[in-house]
Amino acid sequence: MGRKAQDTKVGETFEARQDVGKYQAIYYGGASGDFNPIHIDREFGKMVGLGDAILQGLCTMAFTQQANINWAGGDPAKLKKIKVRFAKPVYMGDTIKTSGTVTDMDGNRATTEFVAANQSGVEVITRATAEVELD
């Protein structure tokens, strides 16, 4: 059973953490087909000025989607809309914290605004919103 709309208030907050494993970009590449060398080749990432291989942006966005889905009760079908701005790269070994706030309730739909930051507090996803359907 998911989160109840009548129990949800504007201003309510949520958080989720996700560790980015050593092989995360390879796993995501297998699922998405995105094997761009900037994601899987550390030397290539350094050569092009990224400092290292970086995680696919859509994988980082998936972490934030999961945070919203889990907050709403765990059913992926409840996520109706999501919009993010990719602000900074994510590296293998990072820990990503998604922090969200309910900014609007319209019937059984909640709008959240959220950011995702790494373990140093650097925001990697900004200006992000999601709309989730509640029970």
- Is residue 57 part of the annotated active site? The answer reads yes
Catalytic-role residue among 57, 73, 75, 135: 57
Catalytic-role residue among 38, 39, 40, 69: 39
Question: Do 12 and 134 touch, CB atoms closer than 8 A?
Answer: no
- Is residue 39 part of the annotated active site? The answer reads yes
Spatial neighbors of 112 by CB under 8 A, at least 6 apart, are 14, 68, 71, 100, 101, 102, 103, 129, 130, 131, 132
φ/ψ of residue 112, rounded to 5: -115, 150
Catalytic-role residue among 26, 34, 41, 73: 34
Catalytic-role residue among 38, 54, 69, 82: 54
CA 55, CA 20: separation in Å to the nearest integer?
Answer: 8
- Is residue 54 part of the annotated active site? The answer reads yes
Which amino acids are annotated catalytic?
Answer: 34, 39, 54, 57
